[in-house]
Amino acid sequence: MSAALPRLPVTTPAARPLPPAPPEADPILTEVIRQSLNAAALQMRQAFVRTSFSPIIYEVYDFACAIYDAEFRLLSQALGLQHFMGRLSFCVALSVEAVGGPAALEPGDILLYNLPYGTGAHAQDAAVVMPVFHDGGVVGYTAIKAHWLDIGGKDPYSTDTVDVFQEGTIFPGVKLCRAGVMVADIMRMVTANSRVPHLVAGDLQAEIVGVRTGAAALVELLDRYGQEVLWASVARMFAHGESVVRSYFREIPDGVYTASGELDDNGVEQARIPFEISMTVEGSDVTVDFSRSPGMQAGPVNCPLPGTIAATRVAVMMLAGGGEAPNEGHFAAVKVITRPGSMFHPEAPAPCFLYGWPAIQAIEVIFRAIAEARPEGVPAGSGGCVCSLVWWGEREATGTPWADGAPYPVGLGAHPGGDGGNTLMHIAQTAARSSPAEVFEARYPLRIVQSDMGQDSGGAGRYRGGLGLDMDFLALEDCLLTSVFERTKNAPWGLRGGREARPNASRLRLPDGSLQVLGKKTRVQVPRGATLEIRTGGGGGYGSPCERDPQAVHDDVRDGYTSELFARTHYPHAFEETA
């Protein structure tokens, strides 16, 4: 079976080596060009959002837009899903290779690629890639990878696939447009393999609009500055990004730092999945080693190599990136080691549908490893999940198929500077959003009957962990649901004496009052009148609770963040004078 799928070579690089920064590159002009490239990626995003059909695009922002040079090095990426960071270079390179290399491309071509082992994601995250021509040659690529609501898998969203063929139709690098003309047969295949073809077709057309917008913006910059000046500034831009990251790791003592994590299960088998990640710091060079990870899983919690590299890059950029928009230079100091045939480097046809959940745990574990050396520089554990729900069905009055999906926020870990953030998206996708209640209820047969911060869900500490979300959905018609909640068995950890927080939970309360615990569950029958109750995890506390300012304790009780019972239990010192 695996022979039918193109394989990603173990040695495939994410990008070519960085060019040296020429001394003649003007630093002011370099910054102008850097911001212009970032603006070009933002133009792509805006064009895509404004022309898309699905709320998962225009409300949730489940996508990434990026611009690459001819050597597949990241020039700029618009704010979108953070865990797509630096990941598209693989599928851009592999899609070009699949159609015959740069020599087989012509102006106006657009490629389609969604093979999970090259995108680092599931098949529903489909990448559209456009080569950019200037002065007769390929000078770069624009790419958008976006979540399609359905692409012909066994279900619109699955937690129990056993191979990649159950996860959707594969487009392993094909020309979607030739010389500016749509290849009608490819579009027909896309729509024929979707339960919601009009939404998928609309979003795919929007991706085309987006990559064309980015390509035009890059050509405009090349026309304005010329290739020699622009690429010299890019080289200096890369050098700056590399120096920012290296300056962070120079402050960490040389050594090997190891931490462990655990997944609840693989979606098919119920056993917990422990794993370990080690990080070696030598000067400003960093090696993150996943080679002791467990083998490929029978269920879809396998994270392909590009996804593993992307998770590492997210963790590094969040701590060491200086708040800058990423480019290839920021990744130069970090090397990733994996073991082919493992959960963090699966091979075809291993199922990958829930690739993002081990990647998110990896980010948390990398933070935990860094905390060994620099506990004052990292947060405590967060809710550790994107808490995804995907709904679908047919409207009772018209028979029209519908589908929607969204992540939901968690509490973030407290840190040396203060309390953790309340009900925020996990750092793997900080730009993502849940659909507003008004949009959600207007489009679908569901009603949100509760949406509130979860009292007492954050871990106690000198600084309190952020609060998770309490949210209830009432079904107004019969429908189907897939719930993907991880870290329901492992509480978010505290740091330096901080306490654990509430873990995640999702459960269905049926009309007869019975309760069904979900977690990872596919195609759940939700009858009219049933209520889905989600309780997302809080963030761990930082520092001993006995060090918390008594006034902050009383403020939390007044604001409803903590109950008086919780406060008296964890912060008795705050009540000594009033006892």
Write down the domain spans for the chain: 2-242, 379-579
Quickly list DSSP for 515-535. EEE-SEEEEEEE-TT-EEEEE
Average pLDDT value for the chain? 93
Other C-beta atoms closer than 10 Å to the C-beta of 1 total: 9
pLDDT of residue 80: 75
How does pLDDT run across 563-573, given as a tens digit for each residue?
A: 999 999 999 99
Task: Give me the mean pLDDT over the 134-142 stretch.
Answer: 97
Share of the chain above pLDDT 70, in %: 96
pLDDT of residue 12: 38
> For 14-37, what is the mean pLDDT?
81
Report the pLDDT value the prediction gives residue 10, as an integer from 0 to 100.
Answer: 37
Confidence label for 129 from pLDDT (cuts 50, 70 and 90): very high
Averaged pLDDT, 220-244: 96
d(CA 369, CA 278): 7
pLDDT single digits (tens) 373-382: 888 889 999 9
Position 3 scores a pLDDT of: 40
Q: How far apart are CA 516 and CA 529, in angstroms?
A: 14
| pLDDT tier, 17 (very low <50, low <70, confident <90, very high otherwise) | low
Residue 15: what pLDDT?
42
The burial of 216, by beta-carbon neighbours within 10 Å (0-12 exposed, 13-18 middle, 19 or more buried), is given as middle
- Residue-wise pLDDT for 280-310, tens only, equals 999 999 999 999 999 999 999 999 999 999 9
Omega before 349 within 30 of 0, i.e. cis = yes
Reported confidence tier of residue 205, pLDDT bands at 50, 70, 90: very high
Q: Reply yes or no on whether the pLDDT at 135 is more than 50.
A: yes
- Give the percent of the chain with pLDDT over 90: 87
Query: For the segment 83-127, what is each residue's pLDDT rounded down to a tens digit?
Result: 777 789 999 999 999 999 999 999 999 999 999 999 999 999 999
pLDDT at 428: 80
pLDDT category at 441 given cuts 50, 70, 90 is very high
- Nearest to residue 536, comparing CAs of 315, 349, 321, 382? 382
Q: What was the pLDDT predicted at 5?
A: 52
Residue 447's pLDDT band (boundaries 50, 70, 90)? very high
pLDDT band at 203 (very low <50, low <70, confident <90, very high): very high
Containing 185, the helix (H) or strand (E) segment is helix 184-192
Instruction: Find the largest Cα–Cα distance for the chain.
Output: 81
